[in-house]
Structure 1
Amino acid sequence: MLPYRAVPAPRTAALAGLAERLGFTSVWAAEVSGADAFAQLAAAAAATVSVELGTAIVPIGSRTPALLGMSANTLATLSGGRFALGIGVSSPRIMRSFHGLAPTRPLAAVGDALTILDDVLGGRRTFHSGEAFSSSGFTLTVPAARPPLLLAALGPGMRRLAGERADGVILNFVPASAAATLAAETAVAGRPFRRLALVRVALAEPGADRTPVTLRRGLASYLRVPPYARWFTSLGLGAVVERVTAQPDLDAMADALPEDVVRDLAVVGTARECARRLREFASTGLEPVIVPETAAGDVEAYERLITALAAHLAD
């Protein structure tokens, strides 16, 4: 995963090139309030030759489905067919506060978006009037080969929708202890179906008894986001969510996270240890998308992490 906070876009394109040279097979981009994910990946397409490029994710509400289809089609062309479109509903803070959008029913909104995107990316004329999104008469003028369409999902309803209508699912915060179970639950019979999982990776000194504060703060911040609070609760971590979110500030929340929970939700250790755990995670059937946990804007630390990790993943 490319850094999406406090890193200028030209640096992220260079990081994509570095990732390819190090032997990574895919490069993913997200967006919140930094670089536009599609623009990032367009630059990455010019800086790379063979790696897969994908969004993980872009929200369905900040662009119309037709525009999402245009952007995906453009990147599929620019990359020579190396692009995958990962979409999701995002969070209430991003959609309502940042973008000023009215709340929608997530499953209905995603269903509308998938219907329109399926027509757009398939080169067909749109004709859909939905609860959240509508499009009529739109056709791509120069359609590329259809890129894979992946859906971010936490709850069972969204995971089921992904299995029925998308080419793959993108999971987030999958505990290592539950990876095999979730891999089995998200398997789809009879057709190719990718199961990706965003996995936070943080380097730590040998024998360190405390996970890095950057990782702990990042994880704690998600516990106060309602969809993620529900997700963690469904994993049996309801008491942890209550205890952590009762703290007065983010530092206190991070400090209140149990160490065993952090280590179950993220990969922490030396580069060799992290590589081993990532291989174990992949053996469950889930495809890990590495999210390097470094301080915002610290490109050098990001480079050190992926370089050290690549050396041991190749062992």
Structure 2
Amino acid sequence: MTSVGVVTPFWLDRPPAEAVDIAVVADEAGFGTLWIGEMATFDAFALATAVGLRTSSISLKIGPLAVGVRSPVALALGLSTVVVMTGRRAGLALGASSPRIVTEWHGRDWEPVRRMRETVRDTRAILDGNRVAGFRSQQPVPGTPISVAAFGPAMTRVAAAVADEVVLNLVSAEHVANTKKQVSALASVPPPLAVWIPAALDPGPATLHQLRAQLAVYLSPPGYGEMFTALGHGTLVEQSRAGRPRAELARAIPTDLIEAVGAIGSAQDVADRVDEYFDAGAEHVGLVPATAEDPAGHGLLTTLSPLLTKGRR
């Protein structure tokens, strides 16, 4: 069974507390899952607790959080705190992140592949109530699903081996289909695949600018750049890697690149686009609502919910 959830975005041109407003709208609209990541605003576990206290039933997926920044003990304590304090179902997601965030921001070693294997193993054991390195949680949460964000062959192999779910962000439907094949070939029982996509109803200039600014961040990183090149936008990737200012790159991004990795247009256009990702092999689609002209994604989420949640869990 497929499902559609909502992702709290990190729009730099919007107030950080809008994340809670988005959560409330998603809950009231009937979406079943809310993803809560972490960048440069709130601690994800603290935000998830606030969201759980402001909403009624939506389940929470915390992350993807940068692996190696928190120990398995810290991750398990954070997850169990959210569950106990809110009475809400919650899952955990981990990702490689980047050397800048892991090493420069947090002062940790950049060893994503090894760290991911060890962190998933030990965090799962602690949440299940087992003793790890002398520590045993007094508030275990057995059976907590752990998702792993995968981009690139090394992390895809790890995700296929240890994750309860594989997560992709800002990718084309074709990339989803390719990853589905890879994961299916790597695991006898392949984990389900989730994908995050930016979404907007009938976007105007401010919304398109917001979406372009996000895409400009992803033009140069390994993996993303190659995907955008395959989609026919190699010149932008080359310019980004050569140091062209991000603001200039954002202005140069064509609408068809946004459409290739997102869902924009009429309500039916967005719903059809979500179905393309399901047809490509995703079991879950997380909508990242653009909010430049639609505060808290209210118009998008309330309009799309009847089309996207019907017949799904």
TM range (shorter): 0.7 to 0.9
Q: Per-residue displacement from partner, 1:141-181 (whole Å, max 9, x unpaired)?
A: 22122310011110112111111111111111221233333
Report the 3-state secondary structure (helix = DSSP H, G, I; strand = E; otherwise coil) of the residue aligned with 1:124.
coil
**1:41 to 2:48 alignment:** yes
Matched residues in 1 for 2:240 and 2:251: separation? 8
Q: Offset at 1:196?
A: 0.8
Contact 2:52 2:88 in 1 (8 A): no
Matched residues in 1 for 2:107 and 2:294: separation? 32
Cα distance change of structure 1 residues 52 and 141 upon mapping to structure 2, 3 Å threshold = same
**1:285 to 2:278 alignment:** no
**1:165 to 2:172 alignment:** no
**1:26 to 2:33 alignment:** yes
Contact 2:79 2:92 in 1 (8 A): yes
**1:153 to 2:150 alignment:** yes
Aligned pairs for 1:47-196 within 5 A: 47-80=54-87, 82-102=89-109, 104-126=110-132, 136-187=133-184, 191=189, 193-196=191-194
Report the 3-state secondary structure (helix = DSSP H, G, I; strand = E; otherwise coil) of the residue aligned with 2:218.
helix
Contact 1:121 1:143 in 2 (8 A): yes
Q: Offset at 1:254?
A: 1.6
Contact 2:198 2:290 in 1 (8 A): yes
Matched residues in 2 for 1:285 and 1:143: separation? 33
Report the 3-state secondary structure (helix = DSSP H, G, I; strand = E; otherwise coil) of the residue aligned with 2:251.
helix
Q: Report the counterpart of residue 208 of structure 2 in structure 1.
A: 212
Matched residues in 2 for 1:234 and 1:64: separation? 37
Any unmatched runs of 5+ in structure 1?
Answer: 127-135
Aligned pairs for 1:218-237 within 5 A: 218-226=214-222, 228-229=224-225, 232=228
Report the 3-state secondary structure (helix = DSSP H, G, I; strand = E; otherwise coil) of the residue aligned with 2:93.
strand
Which letter does structure 2 place at the counterpart of 1:255?
Answer: R
Higher relative contact order (CA 8 A, sep 6+): 2
Contact 2:183 2:190 in 1 (8 A): no
Contact 1:275 1:309 in 2 (8 A): yes
Matched residues in 2 for 1:180 and 1:84: separation? 24
- The alignment yields a C-alpha RMSD, in angstroms, of 2.9
Q: Report the counterpart of residue 307 of structure 1 in structure 2.
A: 302
Match of 1:7 among 15, 27, 48: 15
Cα distance change of structure 1 residues 155 and 178 upon mapping to structure 2, 3 Å threshold = closer
Q: TM-score, normalised by structure 2?
A: 0.84
Q: TM-score, normalised by structure 1?
A: 0.83
Report the 3-state secondary structure (helix = DSSP H, G, I; strand = E; otherwise coil) of the residue aligned with 1:197.
strand
Contact 1:243 1:256 in 2 (8 A): no
Aligned length: 300
Cα distance change of structure 1 residues 99 and 228 upon mapping to structure 2, 3 Å threshold = farther
Report the 3-state secondary structure (helix = DSSP H, G, I; strand = E; otherwise coil) of the residue aligned with 1:27.
strand
Contact 1:176 1:281 in 2 (8 A): yes
Matched residues in 2 for 1:36 and 1:145: separation? 23
Q: Offset at 1:84?
A: 0.8
Contact 1:81 1:145 in 2 (8 A): no
Q: Per-residue displacement from partner, 1:208-247 (whole Å, max 9, x unpaired)?
A: 8998121111101122344643565687865541134446
Which letter does structure 2 place at the counterpart of 1:65?
Answer: P
Report percent identity of matched pairs.
Answer: 32
Matched residues in 2 for 1:67 and 1:233: separation? 39
Report the 3-state secondary structure (helix = DSSP H, G, I; strand = E; otherwise coil) of the residue aligned with 2:130.
coil
Which letter does structure 2 place at the counterpart of 1:310?
Answer: S
Report the 3-state secondary structure (helix = DSSP H, G, I; strand = E; otherwise coil) of the residue aligned with 1:34.
coil
